[in-house]
Structure 1
Amino acid sequence: MPSTTDPTARPPRSGLAAALGAYVLWGAFPAFWPLLAPAGSVEILAHRIGWTLVGMLVVLTAVRGWSQLRGQSARTWLTITVASVLITINWGVYIWGVTHGRVVESALGYYVNPLVSVVLAVLVLGEQLRRVQWVAVGIATVAVAVLWAGTGALPWVALVLACSFGFYGLLKKRVPLAPVAGLTAEGFLLGPIAIGYLVWLQATGVGTFGQGTGHTLLLIAAGPVTALPLLLFAFGAKRLPLATLGLLQYVNPTMQFAWGVLVDHEPMPPARWIGFVLVWVALLVFAADGWTASRRRAGRPAGSGAGEAQPTRSTV
């Protein structure tokens, strides 16, 4: 197996296929969530949480990972609780965005997410950004200002998605659980609330579950549709260099952007194009600097690159 620290090493095909598959599935989400109509955004979110928990319980049992959840401290469970709230906000805003004609803005959130994550690492963890990384962050900030001024509205969907997942990523670094156990733990905290809400919807006659076999199966599919790319990503992330993952992460928002423009035909006035071009320039600068830094670290003794903020990967 090639070294996970050498960006020039050829990544294993299994890891590359798994990670790419995860990002392609995430990129196809704008095509899936609108299929769950007439269910509203909150009902879809509740089904996503509830059925994901069911699926993860099965997976955790299959991999015999229950022991990981035992003996965790109250501090760890508090961290998981806050992380659960953040991922709920992220999922909910995303579902609302792609079901209300805001696919392009949602894509912007996942383009900007890596830059937001490294800034949070600086502000919260005291990590250091290289000068070129600060340039990339500055360009992205100008891009958001252009989008705000040119369209007359703050791209709040993008900012909420980027910031909620940025803080979620920071908290997940403090949770000593593998991805499967971690997602299951979050489900334990979110699932009862989501399931209770769904029971209330059905009891009051407002819920859409059971309104046709196809619709019911699609609502149930929200669980595996959520879990599968997460499991693929976890598999790929263990086998690929960070630099490779850093480049693959842009497959997701690029597919979403293309869907919003080419399929949903969302408006793209000049100011919006200018803003996106600036974001893409910022990401090119950021990715090029990260690749160069990875090549330099590959030639250093282990541990000599500590203290520098690293790119993070986003999910939806």
Structure 2
Amino acid sequence: MRAQQASAAQVGIICAIAAYTMWGIAPIYFKQLTVLPAAEILMHRVIWSVLVLVGLIAGLKQWAKVAAALRNKKVMQVLFVAGILLGANWLLFIWAVNNDHILDASLGYYINPLINVFLGRLFLGERLRTFQRVAVVLAIVGVAILIFSYGRVPWIALILAGSFSIYGILRKQVAVDSLPGLFIETLMLSPLAIGYWLLFGSEYSNLFNNDASLNMLILAAGVVTTAPLLCFTAAARRIMYSTLGFLQYIGPTLMFVLAVYLYDEPLDEARLITFGFVWLALAVFSVDSLIAYKKQRKALRASVQAAKSISETQTS
């Protein structure tokens, strides 16, 4: 049993690294599509994702879960709002990448877990531990330094982080697996995508006018969307959520490296100080998560041992 658990954990870690690596290097893919407007790239991402997801759901036999969600009016309402948020998040990310704001996108996904904690306190009534409060304050200080230095709010980072955090809170409210949920969300966005294609599509909207390499990149949008999600789902089922939380920083770290060393985005002193505060906040946040996890494990072992002792006493 332990050997099976260890093997499953190894597979889970590999899947998590693969998922966050794919998300982290996604800017390389979107940079190849700069000839298209961001909205048109989003359009292709939605349409081809729906087709890929149809195949995956059929192959994994999850149509029953899709049907159950479709019959629930409340679930559909939440998924509709979640889908709009997800589409807006995708659109802003694509625009940021193709307009040389990868550093802002990286900052957004770094502060995303901290905003998750803040919104959990605000909307779900979750209590913040001392170190969590310290981490949130450090992140706020970092963002404030950027605001005072530039005289403007880092809106790309904040909207990316905020929209994805709210999306996560909404998805927590409905008992729908990630794959059927993503399928329904993209399916509800598809009429908007098709309408954009017909009414506002650029000269590249007619795939018959494009060369094969551009069409291959366009069609790959579905795989680029679904492949990391599948890896993430596989990882979430096999490893602890705390481990998954530590590995999530692979994505924004890769974006940071790409922005600075591949695409030569300016990293001035104020922005570097902001990243420094955010990195420090994440270090505090991660240590707090590790301490809390160890306490939970210790309490669980104690309760199991106590139950075992009571059972043995009753038996004797």
Q: TM-score scaled to structure 2, two decimals? A: 0.90
Q: Which runs of 5+ in 2 are unaligned?
A: 304-316
Alpha-carbon distance in 1 for matches of 2:232, 2:142: 29
2:47 aligned to which of 45, 50, 67: 50
Deviations 1:12-68 (A, max 9, x none): 211111111000000001111010131110000110111111100110111111111
Contact in 1 for aligned 2:36/2:204 (Cα 8 Å)? no
Contact in 2 for aligned 1:19/1:236 (Cα 8 Å)? yes
Alpha-carbon distance in 1 for matches of 2:162, 2:7: 33
- Tell me which residue corresponds to 1:39: 36
- Tell me which residue corresponds to 1:282: 281
Q: Which has the larger helix fraction?
A: 2
Contact in 2 for aligned 1:2/1:11 (Cα 8 Å)? no
Alpha-carbon distance in 2 for matches of 1:83, 1:179: 12
Alpha-carbon distance in 2 for matches of 1:242, 1:11: 14
Q: Which runs of 5+ in 1 are unaligned?
A: 305-316
Contact in 1 for aligned 2:92/2:160 (Cα 8 Å)? yes
| Percent of residue pairs identical | 37
1:24 maps to 2:21: yes
Distance 1:142 1:10, change over 3 A: farther
Specify the SS of the correspondent of 1:70: helix
1:209 aligned to which of 207, 210, 226: 207
Alpha-carbon distance in 2 for matches of 1:233, 1:33: 21
- Tell me which residue corresponds to 1:251: 250
Give the Å deviation of 1:209.
3.4
Alpha-carbon distance in 2 for matches of 1:13, 1:74: 39
Give the Å deviation of 1:205.
4.4
Contact in 1 for aligned 2:83/2:185 (Cα 8 Å)? yes
1:62 aligned to which of 40, 59, 72: 59
Give the Å deviation of 1:152.
2.6
Structure possessing the higher radius of gyration over alpha carbons? 2
Give the Å deviation of 1:213.
1.0
Q: 1:73-112, aligned counterparts within 5 Å? A: 73-112=72-111
Specify the SS of the correspondent of 1:176: coil
Distance 1:11 1:70, change over 3 A: closer
Give the Å deviation of 1:70.
2.0
- Tell me which residue corresponds to 2:233: 234
Distance 1:166 1:261, change over 3 A: same
Give the Å deviation of 1:208.
6.0
After TM superposition, what 4+ stretches of structure 1 lie above 3 angstroms from structure 2? none
Q: TM-score scaled to structure 1, two decimals? A: 0.90
Q: 1:190-205, aligned counterparts within 5 Å? A: 190-202=189-201, 205=203
Alpha-carbon distance in 2 for matches of 1:216, 1:115: 39
Contact in 2 for aligned 1:97/1:106 (Cα 8 Å)? yes
Give the Å deviation of 1:301.
3.1
Specify the code of the residue in structure 1 equivalent to 2:28: A
- Tell me which residue corresponds to 1:148: 147
Deviations 1:72-122 (A, max 9, x none): 321110000000011011100000000000000100000000000111111
- Tell me which residue corresponds to 2:306: none
- Tell me which residue corresponds to 1:273: 272
Contact in 2 for aligned 1:105/1:155 (Cα 8 Å)? yes
Specify the code of the residue in structure 2 equivalent to 1:239: R
- Tell me which residue corresponds to 1:219: 218
Specify the code of the residue in structure 1 equivalent to 2:259: G
Alpha-carbon distance in 1 for matches of 2:45, 2:39: 10
- Tell me which residue corresponds to 2:185: 186
Contact in 2 for aligned 1:2/1:12 (Cα 8 Å)? no
Moved more, 278-287 or 34-43: 34-43
Moved more, 209-218 or 276-285: 209-218
Give the Å deviation of 1:199.
2.8
Specify the code of the residue in structure 1 equivalent to 2:25: A
Contact in 2 for aligned 1:151/1:272 (Cα 8 Å)? no
Aligned residues: CA RMSD? 1.9
Deviations 1:195-234 (A, max 9, x none): 22113345x7463634211111101101101100000100
Give the Å deviation of 1:2.
6.2
- Tell me which residue corresponds to 1:309: none
Give the Å deviation of 1:11.
6.7
Deviations 1:146-179 (A, max 9, x none): 1111123211110000000000000011121111
